[in-house]
């Protein structure tokens, strides 16, 4: 847009100062280019004001809102499963089971019976040596574990009772 059009649009819109309006009015009266452009822009402005704005139908707005509501309804609020947590739990159990299997296989006496029979003689010890495990299960550790279990139980009970109270209110 050139400066003539800008000045004329400001004049038509009434967004210029009184001094500028007088100067533009003098230019329109004296200059043929300004006069033609002014009449052209004035006709265009009248066409714009005469146009009716297109508005979407009420059904369109309703359909859009229903689509948005349906999209939000399909997404569960707190059901997002973190795959890293599942993987961590699986790794913990695999390592635990593997450790138990290795411990059990290492404690078996694998002596071959070279006597007259062709079988193997596997001697499983009757009493396993688990003294190193007993050193971890001391009184304070067991008390801490029980304290943690009690706190978690109270937390779950509180959550259950609060959910029940909210359902009664709503």
Res 80 pLDDT > 80: no
Assign 3-state DSSP to the chain and report helix, strand, coil percentages, each to 5. 70, 0, 30
| Total residues belonging to the chain | 170
Give pLDDT, residue 78: 59
Res 114 pLDDT > 70: no
State the average pLDDT over residues 95-107.
Answer: 89
pLDDT in tens, 131-164: 666 677 788 888 998 999 999 999 999 999 998 8
Name the residue with tokens 């002596």.
111
DSSP per residue, 7-53: HHHHHHHT-S-HHHHHHHHHHHHH-HHHHHHHHHHHHHHHHHHHSPP
Res 108 pLDDT > 80: no
Which pTM does this prediction carry? 0.33
Q: What phi and psi values does residue 115 have, to the nearest 5 degrees?
A: -70, -155
**Residue 104: pLDDT band by 50, 70, 90 thresholds?**
confident
Give pLDDT, residue 92: 94
Nearest one of 56, 76, 59 to 67, comparing CA atoms: 59
Give pLDDT, residue 9: 86
State the average pLDDT over residues 113-129.
Answer: 58
Give pLDDT, residue 151: 94
State the average pLDDT over residues 62-80.
Answer: 74
Helix (H, G, I), strand (E, B) or coil at 89: helix
- Bridge partners, residue 109, by sequence: 123
**Neighbouring C-alpha atoms within 13 Å toward the C-beta of 77:** 0
The residue ranking higher by pLDDT, 53 or 156, is 156
pLDDT in tens, 5-34: 888 888 888 888 888 889 888 988 898 888
Give pLDDT, residue 2: 66
Helix (H, G, I), strand (E, B) or coil at 82: coil
Give pLDDT, residue 118: 55
Under 8 Å CB-to-CB from 38, ≥6 apart: which residues? 8, 11, 12, 28
Give pLDDT, residue 130: 63
């Amino acid at each position: 847009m050139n400066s003539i059009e800008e000045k004329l649009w400001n004049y038509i819109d009434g967004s210029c100062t009184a001094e500028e309006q007088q100067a533009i009015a003098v230019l329109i009266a004296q200059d043929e280019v300004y006069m033609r452009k002014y009449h052209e822009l004035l006709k265009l402005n009248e066409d714009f004001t005469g146009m009716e704005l297109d508005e979407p139908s009420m059904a369109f707005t309703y359909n859009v809102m229903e689509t948005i509501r349906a999209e939000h309804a399909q997404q569960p609020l707190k059901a997002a499963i973190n795959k890293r947590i599942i993987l961590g739990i699986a790794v913990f159990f695999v390592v635990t089971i593997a450790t138990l299997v290795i411990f059990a296989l290492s404690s078996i006496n694998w002596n071959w019976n070279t006597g007259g029979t062709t079988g193997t003689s596997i001697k499983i010890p009757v009493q396993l040596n688990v003294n190193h495990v007993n050193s971890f299960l001391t009184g304070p550790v067991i008390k801490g574990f029980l304290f943690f279990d009690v706190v978690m139980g109270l937390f779950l009970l509180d959550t259950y009772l609060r959910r029940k109270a909210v359902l009664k209110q709503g």
